[in-house]
């Protein structure tokens, strides 16, 4: 159990920025715990499964202190909506005053807004959530330490072989299976990488397609099933260590040849956004992102990043329903393909915007904004 900042310093994956932030906490708030699954992929199958994990993170001898103390717990894992629901139920039964529990969720953005709506809907009090602290997430410092940064690098005269690339990742799940087939619709205009391959059976995949299309588009389901059978995926058989070094840190040749990067993060189906090292990597590689997440562009602009709204209609990000948002994103991709050759795209790209985002990361300007926003949230509840 991680209970003190000194214990936290001994953890290999902890961000130095997080340590610095916690050290500067006001005396009215006590750092009381930290959690990060080594696989960074904690999805609880049921409530009892979640409780076993919560009991490790939230020591029962600490919880009675919520009667008159504010306790801050750092959550470095992905927080699914089901996890938040389980955590709300469990803490409501365990603590004296749930409003004195503060969860610092390092990889999320807008989770606090969603949770407040959840509490209002259920007519209940809840714990406090602080999020949007991209700089405090464990993998961000690691990326910046290991990435080969050239402070004199200039973005100009890009040449493309593909309109976009899609990296499905090294850990399969049903959503990634679906998205890989979905973007397979654009073959041969996009480059698809899915190192781990499909995890679902054809039957499971078909059932998922029916649900996500609300049983309203059987033809689309059949089309995606057909794509799954014939799709040409690029696989890289490498260890997790090499995934980090080859895919996340080093500039890959394929990425340089793609006009846009469909960004799995910030967020997939979540009603909030994930901001991790993959977001920073996109800007370090001088890529133009097409994020999937809900209100993802708005969140990134809040952190000082810029986007060319003249070239791309990012309004799809405001669609709250995941499938509908994906359809609107795809319509935008089709529009770009139908209106620009790859050579024309290289001429209309806003290189000033791309350069700004690169410089914003390497000069760590986003850090000050992220910490400022985090402190503002903290001060509002203390």
Instruction: Supply the CATH number for residue 237's domain.
Output: 3.40.50
Tell me if 244 is assigned to some domain.
yes
Tell me if 100 is assigned to some domain.
yes
Phi, psi (5° rounding) for residue 105? -95, 100
Q: Which two tokens stand for residue 200?
A: 């679902």
Tell me if 141 is assigned to some domain.
no
User: 180 and 52, same structural domain?
Assistant: no
Tell me if 379 is assigned to some domain.
no
User: 154 and 102, same structural domain?
Assistant: no
In angstroms, the CA 33 to CA 93 distance is 19
Tell me if 374 is assigned to some domain.
no
Q: Which two tokens stand for residue 336?
A: 């770009």
User: 44 and 151, same structural domain?
Assistant: no
Helices (H), the chain: 5-9, 16-23, 47-57, 81-94, 111-121, 138-146, 174-183, 202-212, 218-230, 240-242, 253-256, 277-284, 296-302, 322-339, 342-348, 351-362, 365-380
Contacts of 28 (CB under 8 A, 6+ apart): 70, 382
Average pLDDT rounded to a whole number, residues 243-267: 68
Bridge partners (DSSP) listed for residue 35: 75
Number of independent structural domains in the chain: 2
User: 160 and 121, same structural domain?
Assistant: no
Query: Where is average pLDDT lowest: 55-64, 250-259, 338-347?
Result: 250-259
Q: Which two tokens stand for residue 130?
A: 């602080």
Query: Where is average pLDDT lowest: 103-117, 189-203, 244-258, 357-371?
Result: 244-258
E strand or H helix that includes residue 152: none
Confidence of residue 332 (pLDDT cuts 50, 70, 90): very high
Contacts of 275 (CB under 8 A, 6+ apart): 107, 108, 109, 132, 134, 137, 265, 266, 299, 300, 303
Domain, as residue range, for 210: 147-364
User: 345 and 213, same structural domain?
Assistant: yes
User: 261 and 112, same structural domain?
Assistant: no
User: 158 and 205, same structural domain?
Assistant: yes
Confidence of residue 360 (pLDDT cuts 50, 70, 90): very high
User: 321 and 198, same structural domain?
Assistant: yes
User: 267 and 182, same structural domain?
Assistant: yes
Strand 108-109 and strand 273-274: the pairing is antiparallel
User: 255 and 165, same structural domain?
Assistant: yes
Confidence of residue 238 (pLDDT cuts 50, 70, 90): very low
């Amino acid at each position: 159990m991680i209970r003190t900042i000194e214990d936290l310093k001994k953890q290999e994956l902890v961000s130095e920025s997080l340590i610095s932030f916690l050290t500067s906490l006001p005396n009215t708030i006590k750092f009381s715990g930290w959690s990060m699954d080594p696989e960074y992929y904690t999805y609880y199958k049921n409530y009892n499964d979640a409780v076993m994990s919560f009991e490790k993170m939230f020591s029962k001898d600490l919880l009675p202190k919520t009667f008159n103390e504010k306790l801050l717990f750092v959550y470095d894992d992905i927080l699914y909506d089901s996890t938040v629901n389980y955590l709300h139920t469990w803490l409501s039964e365990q603590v004296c005053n749930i409003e004195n529990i503060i969860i610092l969720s390092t990889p999320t953005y807008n989770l606090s807004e969603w949770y407040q709506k959840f509490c209002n809907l259920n007519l209940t009090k809840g714990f406090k959530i602080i999020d949007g602290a991209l700089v405090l997430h464990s993998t961000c410092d690691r990326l910046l330490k290991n990435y080969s940064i050239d402070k004199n690098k200039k973005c100009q005269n890009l040449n493309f072989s593909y309109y976009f690339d899609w990296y499905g990742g090294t850990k399969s799940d049903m959503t990634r299976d679906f998205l890989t087939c979905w973007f397979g619709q654009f073959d041969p205009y996009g480059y698809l990488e899915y190192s781990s391959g499909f995890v679902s059976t054809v039957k499971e995949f078909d059932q998922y397609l029916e649900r996500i299309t609300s049983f309203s588009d059987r033809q689309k389901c059949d089309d995606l099933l057909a794509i799954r059978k014939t799709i040409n995926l690029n696989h890289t058989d490498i260890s997790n260590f090499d995934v980090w070094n080859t895919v996340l840190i080093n500039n890959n040749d394929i990425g340089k040849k793609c006009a846009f990067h469909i960004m799995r993060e910030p967020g997939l189906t979540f009603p909030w956004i994930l901001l991790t090292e993959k977001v920073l990597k996109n800007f370090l590689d001088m890529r133009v992102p097409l994020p999937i997440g809900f209100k993802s562009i708005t969140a990134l602009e809040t952190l000082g990043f810029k986007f060319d709204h003249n070239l791309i209609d990012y309004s799809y990000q405001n669609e709250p329903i995941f499938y509908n948002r994906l359809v609107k994103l795809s319509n935008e991709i089709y529009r770009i393909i139908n209106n620009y050759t790859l050579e024309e795209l290289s001429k209309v790209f806003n290189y000033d915007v791309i350069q700004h985002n690169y410089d914003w990361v390497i000069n760590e300007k986003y850090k000050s904004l992220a910490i400022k926003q985090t402190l503002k949230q903290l001060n509002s509840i203390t």
